[in-house]
Chain A
Amino acid sequence: MMGNDWITILPYLFIAGGGTLIFCAGAFCKRPPAAFLLATAILSVLCAGGSAAFLRPSDTVFMQLMDVGEFARYFTLIFSVITLITLLFSFQYARSRNFSGDEFYGLILFAALGMMLTAAAANWLIFFLGLELLSVSFYIMIAVHKSGTLSIEAALKYFIMGTAATAFLVFGIAMMYGLTGTLQMGAGLSSALYGSRETGVLAALAFILAGIGFKLSIVPFHLWTPDVYQGGPAPVIAFLASGSKVALFAVLLRMCMHLQGPLWEYSMPAIWLLAAVTMAAGTVTALSQTRVKRLLAYSSIAQIGFLFMTLPAVKEQGLPAMLYYLAAYAIMDLGVFGTLGTLSAGPEDLDDLESYRGIGYTHPYRSAILAFSLFSLAGFPPTAGFVGKFLLFRAVLQSGFVVLALIGILAAIISIYFYMRVIMVMYMRPAGTHCTVLVADITIRLAAVMVFMLILWMGIMPSTLFDYITRTVSFLPVFT
């Protein structure tokens, strides 16, 4: 049994191997050429994505620790795409700011590994390991641009807040272990083990949810988000906003799938409330922002709110919709933060809304991608965001959460204003001071084209991905 198990975890091995190779290159060679590092990273991501897509694991459970079935395969695929686009977007950005060393590329890969492990965890420990791998990598990556004052501050904030969140999480996991005597997610959440100790398990779940909520920036745990997004290097934030959130949402989905009976009934109102508050606070606060990265931070809070809105419907029709929207959300946020990064050649990122005046004409191509991603976030057809939002609202209405859907649609209406405001500044105001941008080399072009094509493809031909997701979901035991 142990023999062919290695095939099962092949994608993770590729990423870990690639990361290790990059670190080794750094150890043996004083300044390894950035192109080599990039190529190694891309190659390992492609191998990981390819093996996740084409190799069906012989056994869906790996040593009782990981569930590498269809659910994890889907997420491994998403993370591969996210990591690939992040790598392409960050190459020029890192080189121009002098942090294009082995540590940066290695950390991107290890963060990706953390995401994949988190999404595949069937055991609280693996989840915790994955999450910490992810978080520690991000603590460093946010501070990687050492001469940027804001980024050091952002990293510190993220570190302190993140550690507090981790403490909550560990405490919750310990309580779960104490109450049920197992670290298995599924077994621990089934009533057979906790028996009559429901209150205790609920408290443990609340702590775990608080920990996850921090990372997902659910209101009221969202306060770090704008500062960190504003201070961190744009491609890293692109990776953080898309990858790390998708990973934690995957865990949340897995937890909700396991929750049954009274536990699920007790959790539902909490999720309902958090969703409503997150959507409302995210959109309303974004209205008054004058800095683009902060605005996008609040927008990403609202976007996660839309996903949260669908969470109560996870047991009925919600799962395929959320899986679709997670992919769409990741690509859109990669698009906005990635292009934003390519528009900023200075030491700090292009952030002030005023500095975007007329940028649509001075740099038409990347602005078009940025605008297209913003339209997708706002939910206009023919984009991924539109189809995704439709699927979410359909699932919510199908499960009968009409009030939540109405709150959601109100939030969506309000959000139009701030997305359009950015686009107005980009296209309808006379050009302001000239801003220097990164040279669009093959990496940036490739990344931008990938983002554009993916958003368009998911908006015009959604059936390919959606049918794949429906197939994925049909394999999950919980839902058949």
Chain B
Amino acid sequence: MPQSSLLSIIIFLPLLGGLAALGVFSQPRVSRWIAAIAASGDLALVILLFFLVPGGHAAHNGGWLMAEDYPWLQSLGIRYSLGLDGISLMLILLTAFLALLCILVSWRQINTKVGSFHFFLLATQTGVLGVFLATDLFLFYLFWEVQIIPVFFLVGIWGHEKRLAATMKFILFTVSGSLLMLIALTALYVIHGTRTGIYTFSLARLASAPLTDTTGIFLFAAFMIAFAVKTPIIPLHIWLPDTHTEAPTAGSVVLAGLLLKTGVYGILRIAFPLFPTAARLSMPLLLTLGLVGLFYAAWIALSQTNIKRLIAYSSIAHMGLIIIGLAIWKAITVSGAVLQMINHGLTTSALFILVGILGERIDSRKFADLGGLWKKMPVFSAFFLFFAMASLGLPGLNNFVGEILILIGAFTVSPLVAILGFCGMVFTLVYVLRLVQDSLFGREKAAHPLYDLTIREGWVLGVLAAAVLFIGLHPGPILRLFETPLHHLLSEGGPVAVHLAQPFSGPS
């Protein structure tokens, strides 16, 4: 595999753009444009990747479409190594796409400290991209931590009334999880080093670490707590509704669209492959937690009075279904779960953007102040209805595909889980319909003169809607991208080790 620094450029271009935007903080307009150009450039590079790598035909080089590997802290066996496969390709596409949308939707909303805002936004993007591409556990952890701090500032500085408490809750929860992961990954590194004599953080090698079952379970638990906080899996979801509700629109989009995905990605790419035995043992627990999350979040969502909070709980419910897909651990359910990650990123972000647009006009996110929007803002309402339908899984739209894959797969393994999961989705139907009914229809309450979408907003939502439709109608190419990596992840015997070991077969 020839070394190419394209992946590094993709990761660090946003950070550089962010620094540039911060550098011209006295001129907000220039900051915005620099940030938008950096984000567009990044998106263009990610799209370029699709043309550079032959999608789906990557078997000849071990599943990696592209990789990078340099020594970094050699005496400790830490390397700067990145790898791109079908899953990470789709996820970085989602990341670059949503980051650009975040800048666009904040164009008028963010008017204070514009330079710093874009710096933090783009720094988050760098962190998230790094998480999706790192194949060295230490590097992964580094990016994992790096993405937290900018979000802390995004929520804390540009958030709504109770932002301070929310952002503190966010950082305490996430950092507690990640410090547990730090100790677990250090322990894994030490155990692997003392048993085999090779001190390394390479995921490929660590996957074959000789662990006793008990140690494996403890380490797996520590990793899972870190990922479960981010995902979030019930009962570690407590931070999410508050943080989402208080975050500015772009912050909510970053959280829902990107950060939550890193949690699921960690489970899929790090926790399960590193500890296959412990992972198998945890499947019943994860299934239960996933189902409980689906029902509980849907139930709580019903009683919300704040739109943002309702959408936040719907996120938890969606994540419950994704966890079920992962826990079944069949090719069909896992590819459904991965697809669902992307779908959730698109639809939930779109809903948050819509609520943000509404907030710009009537400065409220409460159901009590809404109602009858359809008459005043028809285009807005049409988009709202469209994304709400996508969120509840209307056939022909994106979520339907992911959900049906997960449920069909679940049915072949455990019909009970599939039936319960299906019931949970009926719950979803109820609260989404309530969301639509209470905001779009009914009696008009807003006294303000409302104006419909501007052209910029229309474009943002239009592009999102096109993506939702595309996945809903023609998911084949995307699912094909997942085939090779999932085949490697799921193969029996030496689970991922075989797959991950190949690109870096040299001595290290």
A428 and B248 alpha carbons, distance in the complex (Å): 14
- By secondary structure, the B interface counts as helix
Task: Tell me if A428 and B164 are in contact (CB < 8 A).
Answer: yes
A375 and B167 alpha carbons, distance in the complex (Å): 16
A380 and B153 alpha carbons, distance in the complex (Å): 14
Indicate if B488 sits at the interface (CB-CB under 8 A): no
- Please name all residues of chain A whose beta carbon is closer than 8 Å to the beta carbon of B141 when the two chains form the complex: 381
A416 and B145 alpha carbons, distance in the complex (Å): 13
Indicate if B74 sits at the interface (CB-CB under 8 A): yes
Residue of chain B at shortest CB distance from A421: B168
Interface bits A394-421 vs B (CB < 8 Å: 1, else 0): 1001100010011001001100110011
Indicate if A149 sits at the interface (CB-CB under 8 A): no
- By secondary structure, the A interface counts as helix
- Please name all residues of chain A whose beta carbon is closer than 8 Å to the beta carbon of B190 when the two chains form the complex: 394, 397-398
Interface bits B93-116 vs A (CB < 8 Å: 1, else 0): 000000000000000000001000
Task: Tell me if A409 and B183 are in contact (CB < 8 A).
Answer: yes
Within 8 A of A (CB), among B123-162: 138, 141-142, 145-146, 148-149, 152-153, 156-157
Residue of chain B at shortest CB distance from A375: B149
Indicate if B61 sits at the interface (CB-CB under 8 A): no
Indicate if B186 sits at the interface (CB-CB under 8 A): yes
Contact of A428 among B163, B180, B189 (CB under 8 A): B163
Task: Tell me if A406 and B183 are in contact (CB < 8 A).
Answer: yes
Pair count A-B, CB < 8 A: 79
Indicate if A470 sits at the interface (CB-CB under 8 A): yes
Indicate if A186 sits at the interface (CB-CB under 8 A): no
Indicate if A200 sits at the interface (CB-CB under 8 A): no
Task: Tell me if B189 and A394 are in contact (CB < 8 A).
Answer: yes
Question: How many A residues face the partner with a CB closer than 8 A?
Answer: 31
- Please name all residues of chain B whose beta carbon is closer than 8 Å to the beta carbon of A412 when the two chains form the complex: 179
Task: Tell me if A417 and B75 are in contact (CB < 8 A).
Answer: no
Q: How far is the CB of A480 from chain B (nearest CB, A)?
A: 17
- Please name all residues of chain A whose beta carbon is closer than 8 Å to the beta carbon of B416 when the two chains form the complex: none
Indicate if A361 sits at the interface (CB-CB under 8 A): yes
A379 and B164 alpha carbons, distance in the complex (Å): 21
Indicate if B187 sits at the interface (CB-CB under 8 A): yes
Residue of chain B at shortest CB distance from A467: B75
A405 and B222 alpha carbons, distance in the complex (Å): 14
Indicate if A424 sits at the interface (CB-CB under 8 A): yes
Task: Tell me if A424 and B179 are in contact (CB < 8 A).
Answer: no
Residue of chain A at shortest CB distance from B185: A390
Task: Tell me if A470 and B75 are in contact (CB < 8 A).
Answer: yes
- Please name all residues of chain A whose beta carbon is closer than 8 Å to the beta carbon of B142 when the two chains form the complex: 381-382, 386
Task: Tell me if A393 and B183 are in contact (CB < 8 A).
Answer: yes
- Please name all residues of chain A whose beta carbon is closer than 8 Å to the beta carbon of B176 when the two chains form the complex: 413, 416
Task: Tell me if A466 and B175 are in contact (CB < 8 A).
Answer: no
Task: Tell me if B73 and A463 are in contact (CB < 8 A).
Answer: yes
Task: Tell me if A409 and B180 are in contact (CB < 8 A).
Answer: yes
- Please name all residues of chain A whose beta carbon is closer than 8 Å to the beta carbon of B149 when the two chains form the complex: 375, 380
Q: How far is the CB of B358 from chain A (nearest CB, A)?
A: 25
A427 and B157 alpha carbons, distance in the complex (Å): 7
Task: Tell me if A397 and B186 are in contact (CB < 8 A).
Answer: yes
Task: Tell me if B156 and A427 are in contact (CB < 8 A).
Answer: yes
Q: How far is the CB of B216 from chain A (nearest CB, A)?
A: 15
B contact residues vs A (CB 8 Å cutoff): 72-76, 113, 138, 141-142, 145-146, 148-149, 152-153, 156-157, 163-164, 167-168, 171-172, 175-176, 179-180, 182-183, 186-187, 189-190, 193-194
Q: What are some 14 contacts across the A-B interface (CB < 8 A)?
A: A379-B179, A381-B146, A393-B182, A393-B183, A409-B182, A413-B176, A416-B176, A420-B152, A428-B163, A429-B164, A463-B72, A463-B73, A466-B73, A466-B75
A contact residues vs B (CB 8 Å cutoff): 361, 375, 379-382, 386, 390, 393-394, 397-398, 402, 405-406, 409, 412-413, 416-417, 420-421, 424, 427-429, 462-463, 466-467, 470
**Top 6 A-B pairs ranked by shortest CB distance?**
A428-B156, A381-B142, A463-B73, A413-B176, A409-B183, A397-B190
